[in-house]
Structure 1
């Protein structure tokens, strides 16, 4: 039995885990959970993921874990010597601190705005929760642009957010970052921020992302 990934193939968080598994060369079986039918809210699913969200994993020994970023960290630590090294050795305090700083940047300064834009332009209309509000889109875009100005400064000094080696902190941007271009908000690819554009082209060109970008 290989590791099982319970999720929806095109979901952002499912692909966030899948790209890490690909980077680490870990075989996995995707167990589809159909979000369009609200299967993530079924009692059997909620027994394993009490918040009724995808994804979660089950390993061969029965160990289970949910929350995509937590899964990414676990996989990167457990298989540290396999595939791409995506997290520093915990004994290297400075590299670990820089990694945690970069991971916090993604969670606090990117995800809320990218997720908000995806919600306003994709999820809200799809779920019948109302029409897209152009004012909200404009506000979120402006806020994200300001955050990316800081990214530009950081990425002018290092190749990736935590230094000169790719880490989970970079990969965690991929699924929602990719949605931005799909919805016509190309803030990651503009000449206005050449270092952000260079970084984004780098991480989206990785074979692991290419393998899962259209479905885990």
Structure 2
């Protein structure tokens, strides 16, 4: 029986990966709709944001954190929400941090280089530096830690790895990973977890960045569908 319908973009949408992962792990069948902003979708999210969710019982949710927490909590024995209230609060803290202080800034670095919005070299550089400033917080934090919260995998790891996957898709080549070994180690560890790998494309890392702060070569209408869609959605948060 279908547990609910999830509206998203095609492919590994950065804010949807964790939702798909925990749903599959919990044995919850989701009807994935990859054509957003349909009338049914807009009845849930008036702004047409993804992800959006409607349960088989007609319960409606928008906002990625809320959906991820709701789907995860369907398993009463889950270990993904922490061992106690403090760990639960930390999980929400890191989800919020990545969702606001990394993804939104990163997409302002990404959009102009994809040709979705006007390109300005100084603006791209500004947002690249702002993104890195936030990533530096995580890099320092992970210096002596394997997981974001506690001593085992949590929803924070799944959700935040999905968020920062945009960076590893477009920007984070070998040189960057050498300069940010803790974030890189953590990201690779999460990507190889069966719960994460089961719902994502084959794991790959860049040798060189795909985008290096240059004007877009492609017109907006020819931008790769998933990359542009992910970026546009992220800026609406």
Structure 1 length-normalised TM? 0.78
Number of residue pairs matched by the alignment: 200
Cα–Cα, structure 1 residues 148 and 13, in superposed 2: closer, same or farther, change >3 Å? closer
Unaligned runs of 5+ in 1: 34-38
Deviations 1:3-25 (A, max 9, x none): 22222222333334223323434
Alpha-carbon offset, residue 187 of structure 1: 8.5
DSSP-derived class of the 2:179 partner: coil
Task: Please name the residue that 1:36 is paired with.
Answer: none
- Name structure 2 gaps, 5 residues minimum: 202-225, 227-237
Distance 1:106 1:184, change over 3 A: closer
SS at match of 1:28: strand
Aligned partners of 1:142 and 1:81: how far apart in 2?
41
Equivalent of 2:89, from 84, 97, 115?
97
Q: Which residue of 2 aligns with 1:210?
A: 197
Q: CA RMSD in A?
A: 2.6
After TM superposition, where is structure 1 displaced by more than 6 Å over at least 4 residues in a row? none
Distance 1:94 1:146 in 2: 26
Contact kept? 1:114, 1:176, Cα under 8 Å: no
Q: In 2, are the aligned partners of 1:5 and 1:31 still within 8 Å (CA)?
A: yes
Native 8 Å contact 2:14 2:164 kept in 1: no
Q: How far off its partner does 1:157 sit? A: 2.9
Q: Is the contact between residue 14 and residue 165 of structure 2 (CA under 8 Å) also seen in structure 1?
A: no
Superimposed CA distance per residue, residues 183-207 of structure 1 (whole angstroms, 9 cap, x where no aligned partner): 2344896122222121011112223
Q: Give the C-alpha shift of residue 161 in structure 1.
A: 1.5
Asked if the contact 2:7–2:41 (Cα under 8 Å) also holds between the matched residues in 1, the reply is: no
Q: Is 1:199 paired with 2:150?
A: no
CA distance in 2 between partners of 1:189 and 1:203 (Å): 18
Quick check: 16-25 or 66-75, which moved more? 16-25
Instruction: Tell me the equivalent position of 2:105.
Output: 113
Quick one: distance in 2 between partners of 1:162 and 1:31?
32
